[in-house]
Amino acid sequence: MDKPAWLTEAEQTLIRYCGDFSPIRIIRAEGSYIYTDEGQAILDFTSGQMCSVFGHNHPRVVSAIHGATERSLHLLSTMLSPEVIELSQRLAALLPEGLDKLLFVNTGSESNEVAIRMAKLASGGYEIIGFIGSWHGMTAGAQSSTYSSTRRGYGPNIPGNLSIPAPYAYRCPIKHCKNKCDNSCLEVGMAMVDRQSVGAYAACIVEPVLSAAGIVELTPEYYQRLRELCAERGLYLILDEAQTAFGRLGTNFGYEPLGAAPDFLTLSKTLGGGLPLAATVTSKDIEENCFEKGFINITSHISDPLPAAVGLAMMDILLQEDMATQAAIKGAYLKTQLEALQERHECIGDVRGRGLLLGVEIVKDRNSREPDVELGHRISDYCLTMGLSMNIVRVKGMGGVFRIAPPLTITTSEIDLGVEILDQAIGKALGSRL
């Protein structure tokens, strides 16, 4: 798409923090749609930045914001509001024993930063294990455990960060199995980090579904074995649920079908419903350990009342409208539609994921499984011009995958429309290559 004049002007004053900006200017968002200044309605298959999990500008979220503006927006970090206290109590009541103490910050990066800091303080170690292909944030500690991109050119990361292969069954990272992971990559990965460790293990940080890696799911068997290996080494297990909580996978939280809760749970994108709100959750014992050691984590916007009020509204929507069940039903329907597309288009190598967090991998052919990222970007461009916002993720050596995460409030007719546009865009993109 040609660069419009307003974008050329905007680039005179804005730092380009994500490559090129999108060539459309958004003036309004509501439900499953975003609206351009030219009047085009675009169906959003990304829920914004995966944050508007219950749709853009949900009326109950908007109402919560209005109510909060009549009370308090911001307080001294040591001061607590009724909203913050109630949100901590309600979330703790929804979570199992062992996830009882919460701290509210702004972003997923911060919530992971808090978990990493607490794990280091409580354990006395500093070594953090993460997955190849992971994305945990842009702050120093979270970035050091991020292996999907953004590592080169910024100087040294925090010492003590080690990586293991992700269980990417479609492209086995150790070239051992095909389509079904048998956990060999986990055993090999742990053996490798054991050789590199200096004996100062602190934590292992993972996602239930690696999103930036192209929708790579942890199976219950994999997760249970990971917990065993962490326990053997004295590693705290941090589960980053930035994108998988609040019903997205068809359950309230992503850890539920995996069979056991982690030592730390981090929540962000879905908790705030479009506002900056994140949480670090851990056990009473770990919190007491850190408190006795003088734990400090002060920021200008910690425990702010306004986003906490939104968090309470998000909990109401999640539970009262049974959003997890909606995601399970609609996700199954969408996945069936995408699998039908796979039957028609050779370039779709794999369809995977759970609930309304699905991946469609674009390849040159299904036998070689060679990624076709350039085709994926062309498909994405056609989708946008025809009224569908899609997001393709690219991790070196791990293919090009559409990350499909529409709002959980999406309707069946909107799903049908999105799949129809995607179908047409694939045809156009393939035709333009001839």
Q: Which one from 171, 241, 243, 372 is the annotated catalytic residue?
A: 243
Do 123 and 184 share a structural domain?
yes
Please indicate, yes or no, whether residues 95 and 215 belong to a single structural domain of this protein. yes
Q: How many residues does the chain have?
A: 434
CATH of the domain at 18: 3.90.1150.10
Please say if 403 is a catalytic residue: yes
The yes-or-no answer on residue 243 being catalytic is yes
Last residue of a domain, one of 320, 342, 369: 320
Same domain (yes/no): 217, 350: no
In sequence order, which residues have a C-beta less than 8 Å from that of residue 218 and are 6 or more positions away? 167, 206, 207, 208, 209, 226, 258
pTM score of the predicted model: 0.95
Same domain for 250 and 267, yes or no, is yes
Task: Give the number of domains in the chain.
Answer: 2
Domain assignment present for residue 66? The answer is no
Are 96 and 207 part of one and the same domain? yes
Backbone angles phi, psi at 130, to 5 degrees: -140, 165
Q: Are residues 207 and 132 in the same domain?
A: yes
- With respect to residue 229, please indicate whether it lies within any of the assigned structural domains: yes
* Lookup result for tokens 């499909």: 404
Q: Rounded to an integer, what distance in angstroms lies between the CA atom of residue 197 and that of residue 173?
A: 21
Residue 64 lies in a domain: no
Question: Are 300 and 343 part of one and the same domain?
Answer: no
pLDDT of residue 398: 59
233 catalytic? Reply is no
One of 101, 110, 113, 135 is an active-site residue; which one?
Answer: 135
The 10 Å Cβ neighbour count of residue 86 is 15
Within a domain: residue 367? yes
CATH number of the domain encompassing residue 245: 3.40.640.10
**Residues 101, 248, 269, 335: which is the catalytic one?**
269
Domain that holds residue 165: 71-320
Task: Report pLDDT digits (tens) over 156-205.
Answer: 999 999 999 999 999 888 888 888 889 999 999 999 999 999 999 999 99
65 within a domain of the structure (yes/no)? no
177 and 268 part of one domain: yes
How high is the mean pLDDT of the chain?
Answer: 95
User: Is 135 noted as a catalytic residue in this protein?
Assistant: yes
Strand partners for 237: 204
Give yes or no: residues 338 and 274 share one domain: no
Catalytic residue among 44, 83, 127, 240: 240
The answer to whether 86 and 71 have CB atoms below 8 angstroms apart is no
Place of tokens 């597309």: 341
The verdict on 26 and 82 lying in the same domain is no
Candidates 207, 241, 263, 414; catalytic one: 207
Q: Residue 50: inside a domain, yes or no?
A: yes
Residue 431: exposure state from Cβ atoms within 10 A (0-12, 13-18, ≥19): exposed
Buried b (16+ CB within 10 A) or exposed e, 231-257: eebebbbbbbbbbbbbbbbbbbbbbbb
273 plus 333 within the same structural domain: no
- Residues 261, 409, single domain; the answer is no
Residue 62 domain flag:
no
Nearest to 408 by CA among 336, 338, 317, 335: 317
Sheet-wide strand order for 348-354: 348-354, 357-362, 400-404, 392-394
Give bridge partners of residue 273 from the DSSP assignment. Answer: 275
Instruction: Give CA–CA dist 422/414, Å, rounded.
Output: 12
Q: What is the pLDDT along the chain (434 residues), one digit of tens a residue?
A: 678 999 999 999 999 998 899 999 999 999 999 999 999 999 999 999 999 999 999 999 999 999 999 999 999 999 999 999 999 999 999 999 999 999 999 999 999 999 999 999 999 999 999 999 899 999 999 999 999 888 889 999 999 999 999 999 998 888 888 888 899 999 999 999 999 999 999 999 999 999 988 999 999 999 999 999 999 999 999 999 999 999 999 999 999 999 999 999 999 999 999 999 999 999 999 999 999 999 999 999 999 999 999 999 999 999 999 999 999 999 999 999 999 999 999 999 999 999 999 999 999 999 989 999 999 999 999 999 999 999 888 766 556 899 999 999 999 999 999 999 999 999 999 987 65
